[in-house]
A and B are shown apart, each in its own frame.
Chain A
Amino acid sequence: MDSTDRISRSQRGQLQAAPESFLQPELISEISQHGVDKRRRGLLMSALATAGAVASGVLNAADDPEIVNVPEWSRMLGKGVASPAYGQPSKYETHVTRRQSPGLTQTTQASVSFSPLQHMFGIITASGLHFERHHQGWVDIDPRRHRFMINGLVKTPMVFTLEELMRLPSVSRIHFVECGANTGMEWGNSAVPTVQYTHGMLSCSEFTGVPLSLLLDMAGYDKERARVILAEGADGSSNSRTINIENALDDVFVAYGMNGEMIRPENGYPLRLITPGLQGVSSVKWLRRVEVGDQPYATKDESVHYVDLMPDGLQRQYSSIQEAKSVITNPSGGQKLLSHGYYNITGLAWSGRGTVKKVEVSVDGGRNWREARIDGPVLPKALTRFNFDWVWDGSEALLQSRVTDSTGYIQPSKPELREVRGTRSLYHNNAIQTWKVAASGEVANVQLG
């Protein structure tokens, strides 16, 4: 088998040439049969020029100029260390950004930016890509002037500086943060085109800080009467949330570190609460105070917002826990497959109640399921990466993923969820997502049944 055969074979089923696949199979075949004449040389040169190649004129048709003409980066002196002193992504990665959904909100300060899940590998979100949800804009707090207070049902109301908190025994834990409204635009119909907008109010980081249980104990919280805590931010909104004392004593912590550095200001610098498994708004940013109480506080974001409207007109209040959910991130809405053949379907699964036990994938809209490979760490209340082998034959496909968590809970379909909760709940939409792959290779966000 010569190289021309190899290329032809790999081009079989090609829907659209990748731009960097500079030679069309027809041209390769023609040149291999008839050699290079003036016309074919012209076509070849034009293809090479398109590819940005330095054409030497002595290339064989199957030779990739990016290999034969050793690229300039292999023939130059690179940049020095600490340039820049704080590293940045490659200049070729400008498409990887947080994005807003047009029309979702009218101000940028009480708004959302979505993480580009389609570009994420593994389970850790790059800190600069962590989704944002601010209620009154983000602030950049001088860490030397920040204080943290514990009061309420405690023996001794306490104050800590950041220096004091950072002296205390610390823990590092990898957890997802998911907004309760993630996928909230999709209750009734397909509303947004890509996984960034359908599921991008979701991120996962390694956070470092002090267990809240230790701090509550240091203040001598009232073990008999404590039912809840109130967490409150230091920003303009002083956003506040009621958290179950069970969670507070279990795995909630007061975090200053994120992915190996201080938390980014948009994410709560210099101190935020991390409430593993609970909706993101409970992980109060710019945390200034925790109050121990014996009844819920009915704050604005648990009374007017973050309440789940049921078909009977009742609103579910204090709906905190993020139930198990999964989504295929590649291929996903807005993308296009360039050819038939093998694909690694990949995605994320998570549960606010524990670990991911199993992920299944369907390519026929949920009629048949096969188990996906879980890759990498499987951690409680953290994103978990899954992969699935798929050979696409070019016919229409309906891709879905379904997670089962360590409690045995199975992610429901959209019809199953809507059957109970209707379409106006807004929050806690953890239904199975469907991506339709058309024969053209285009992938679209659709809903079934």
Chain B
Amino acid sequence: MYSSAKSLIVRWIGVAGVTLGAQLTLAAPSVDEAVAAIGRPATTAEIRAWDIDVRPDFQGLPPGSGSVEDGEGIWLEKCAVCHGDFGDSNEYFSPIALGNVTEDDIESGRVEALSDPGRPRTTLMKLATLSTLWDFINRAMPWNAPKSLTPDEVYALVAYILNLEYVVDEDFVLSDENIAEAQAMMPNRNGMTREHGMWSVDGTPDVVGSDCISNCAVDVTVTSSIPDYARNAHGNLRDQMSPYGPFRGINTAGDEDASAAALPVNESAASPDDLLAQYGCVGCHQLDSKMVGPAFNEVMAKYAGRDDAIGYLSGKIRSGGSGVWGSMQMPPMPQVTEDDAARIAAWLATE
């Protein structure tokens, strides 16, 4: 084990000289030994607490039992809110059962309706292995309280679900003793295939594209596009693209004013109402009439266009001043950050 750990380290890290152990005293452990000393054996109770998976051959299934009738009670209390009373709801999740399974399906182990594009796919149509239901309900359900069900409750719920498509009768009691018999009736138990190239690293792809590079015989007719009525279904695409650079978003809201509003907003030129309120500026200044201090419009008229306006006004905001607009002092406002002062000043200097 030590030597193979070492070879793995060498392979992954690509360090040729991981031979520190040889250079140390005999008493010191080698790198491999030191690595192997990290971690500890899991206890039996720890494994029991976490090793909850149930395989298709039912390895891992705890003993227990539950009836369709018991399952119905638990279902109505804990499951129906999402899945509907009969597992037919499509409101939150795909339906579990819609009556699309026939007796012939249960006989053959292939659900015929899966081949019909007009039929929605349900859990019981797709599922080949009963262990999957048990395992999933046990580990993940109910939605907002996973791992809170007892094994008997899980058995009962699985029995109830099987009864939704009449795979088992309503007086059925599912247990670890008879679950293999229930598996033998799973409607789509023969409906899976591993005959494809996407499992093994060396698998062979089923579809490979053409290597044609010129005058290729392809049909370039547009056969599908997003219909006009759905242009805005994902929100206004204008706002999902960059407002600068070579590609802009299409305004799909059909509102040209909205298009203009989405142009890159230079905040320093926009009215900094939030800052004026936050710092209490509006206690002394109004937009267009003199109060304690001059109107913002007066300040704008005086400084707009002056080269040093932003720097000058930022300084006045933070340091205060007097004598420019009368005898009333402008108190220093050091609590206004330099950035915010610059934004207010830029606004004043721009109008």
Contact = CB atoms under 8 A, between A and B. Distances in A.
A55 B349 CA distance: 10
B51 A319 contact: no
Contact of A336 (B91, B215, B247, B345): B247
B218 A413 contact: yes
A412 B199 CA distance: 19
Given A365-B220, A367-B215, A76 B198 contact: no
A136 B56 CA distance: 23
B50 interface: yes
B263 interface: yes
Contact of B349 (A54, A232, A236): A54
Given A295-B55, A334-B250, A449-B223, A168 B213 contact: no
A55 B305 contact: yes
Contacts of B132: 298-300, 303-304
Contact of B126 (A304, A334, A335): A304
Interface residues of B, number: 119
Interface string A144-187: 00000111100111111000100111010000000000000000
Contact of A72 (B193, B203, B248, B346): B346
A119 B242 contact: yes
Contacts of A333: 226
The B contact surface, by secondary structure, is: loop
A229 B313 CA distance: 68
B323 interface: no
A3 interface: no
Contact of B127 (A119, A155, A303): A303
A63 to B, nearest CB: 15
A291 interface: yes
Given A101-B234, A315-B192, A444-B226, A410 B211 contact: yes
Contacts of A171: 12-13
The A contact surface, by secondary structure, is: loop
Interface stretch (B65-73, B109-117, B168-176): B109-117
Contacts of B47: 149, 151, 157
Contact of A79 (B56, B200, B304, B339): B339
Interface residues of A, number: 147
Contacts of B203: 321
Contact of B51 (A291, A318, A369): A291
A237 B146 contact: yes
B205 A323 contact: yes
A316 B198 contact: yes
Interface stretch (A31-39, A124-132, A188-196): A188-196
Given A106-B91, A151-B42, A171-B13, A421 B218 contact: no
Residue of A156, A436, A443 with most partner-chain B CB within 10 A: A156
B326 interface: no
A151 B49 CA distance: 12
Contact of B224 (A152, A232, A237, A446): A446
B126 A298 contact: no
A364 B304 CA distance: 53
Contacts of B40: 158-159
Interface of B: 1, 4-5, 8-9, 12-13, 35-36, 38-42, 46-47, 50-53, 55-57, 91-93, 110-112, 114-115, 117, 121, 123, 126-129, 131-132, 135-136, 139-140, 143, 146-147, 188, 191-201, 203, 205-216, 218-226, 230-231, 233-235, 237, 239-244, 246-250, 252, 263-264, 266-269, 304-305, 307, 309-311, 314, 338-339, 342, 345-346, 349-350
Q: Which 10 A-B pairs have the closest CB atoms?
A: A365-B220, A449-B219, A313-B115, A334-B237, A410-B209, A412-B209, A300-B136, A189-B224, A52-B266, A447-B224
